[in-house]
């Protein structure tokens, strides 16, 4: 039997901060998310818009990473990235993804599953225009997810782009823009004592409405 590198069996928390009931949540899950996100932001949590994005490669291998939510509208959840990155390639292969938010200080988690589409070029242009100039340069300089020999190569590319766009506005790179996840299933999780957590699920039905159900923890 292999010895443990880390034994975490005694590491646990007892959740007692809140409750969640299917009879009092919003009928629209995006409104419920807005409420929870507003509470997370007002609690001054570090980067409450950080979310885990899970995608699947053509060979079925899942992968995940943390990205930043930038907009929530009536259609879904929006973030921005390099379309040629690993996640961009995986979304081109399978336009389905999952998001997870975990606000540990509030003992809350939100899971979102759905279909992903690119936002319009106009939306991507508008967001790119308000990014810090350094971030705009970085979008041009970095061949995201590609293997590079050293950081010096990246820094040389950065300087090249700084020289290229000196004293002028920086346009959005054609390989960079936004994605929107159109939710089809969401789960709101509120930690409770004795691991008997509250889990409320919203699922988009064939008759185009949100069904709300409680799940066992």
| List 133, 195, 209, 214, catalytic entry | 195
| Helix (H) and strand (E) counts in the chain | 5, 9
> How far apart, in whole angstroms, are the C-alpha atoms of residue 110 and residue 53?
12
> How far apart, in whole angstroms, are the C-alpha atoms of residue 148 and residue 128?
25
151 an active-site residue? Answer: no
Alpha carbon 195 to its chain's center: 26
> How far apart, in whole angstroms, are the C-alpha atoms of residue 140 and residue 137?
5
Strands annotated E in the chain: 50-56, 62-68, 71-72, 77-82, 96-103, 108-118, 176-190, 198-204, 210-215
Catalytic residues: 195
């Amino acid at each position: 039997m292999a010895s443990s590198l880390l034994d975490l069996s005694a590491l646990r928390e007892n959740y007692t901060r809140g409750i969640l009931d299917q009879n009092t949540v919003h009928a629209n899950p995006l409104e419920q998310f807005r409420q929870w996100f507003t509470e997370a932001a007002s609690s001054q949590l570090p980067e409450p818009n950080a979310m885990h994005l899970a995608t699947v490669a053509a060979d079925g291998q899942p992968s995940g990473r943390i990205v930043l939510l930038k907009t929530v509208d009536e259609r879904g959840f929006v973030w921005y990235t390099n379309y040629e990155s690993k996640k961009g390639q995986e979304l081109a292969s399978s336009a389905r993804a999952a998001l997870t938010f975990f606000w540990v200080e509030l003992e809350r988690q939100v899971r979102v599953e759905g279909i992903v589409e690119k936002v319009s070029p106009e939306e991507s242009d508008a967001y790119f225009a308000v990014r810090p100039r350094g971030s705009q340069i970085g979008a041009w300089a970095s061949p995201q997810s590609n293997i590079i020999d050293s950081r010096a190569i990246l820094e040389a590319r950065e300087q090249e782009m700084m020289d290229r766009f000196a004293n002028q506005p920086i346009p959005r790179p054609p390989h960079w823009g936004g994605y929107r996840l159109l939710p089809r299933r969401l789960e709101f999780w509120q930690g409770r004592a004795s691991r008997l957590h509250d889990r409320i699920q919203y699922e988009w039905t064939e008759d185009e409405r949100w069904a709300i159900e409680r799940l066992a923890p």
